[in-house]
Amino acid sequence: MISVIMGGLYNICMGLLEGRRRKKKKKRNVAEAIEALKAMNVRTEATGADYREQSLTIHGLICAKCAREFEPKDRHLLTVHHKDGNHRNNPKDGSNWENLCVDCHEDEHSRGLLGDYLSGDKG
């Protein structure tokens, strides 16, 4: 809040020195900066790794490979595998996702093609 007060004092000084038009312009720039910050926050939330929950909802709490079923309390044991290996490919219909238990997921990635895939985050 101190920066706001300082900004206000700055605006008053600028207003005295350069007239009202200058002061108004400065205020609008601050408002734009705040809007830009808000937009950034929204974007961060929207791009969070919420595809995991989406995939569990679409495909259910069951491993697509060994058909092992999980209780909601054990949902963390299921991981979301990207069929094409591309973490950024997250279609809303879940067509690129596969719910795999940790064992099957590791097995899936130990087959060479996607071997280096787990060196990043699990997907």
Residues in contact with Zn ion by CB under 5 A are: 63, 65-66, 81, 101, 104, 123
Select 32 or 107, whichever has its Cβ closest to Zn ion. Answer: 107
State the minimum distance, in angstroms, from the CB of residue 56 to Zn ion: 14
In angstroms, the Cα distances linking 117 to 69, 97, 99 are: 25, 15, 16
Q: How far is the CB of 47 from Zn ion (least distance, A)?
A: 19
Nearer CB in complex with Zn ion: 18/106:
106
Q: Do residues 58 and 51 lie in contact, with contact meaning Cβ atoms separated by under 8 Å?
A: no
Contact 77, 101 (CB under 8 A): yes
Q: Within the chain, how many helices (H) and strands (E) appear?
A: 4, 2
Minimum distance of Zn ion from residue 90's CB (angstroms): 13
CB nearer Zn ion, residue 14 or residue 114: 114
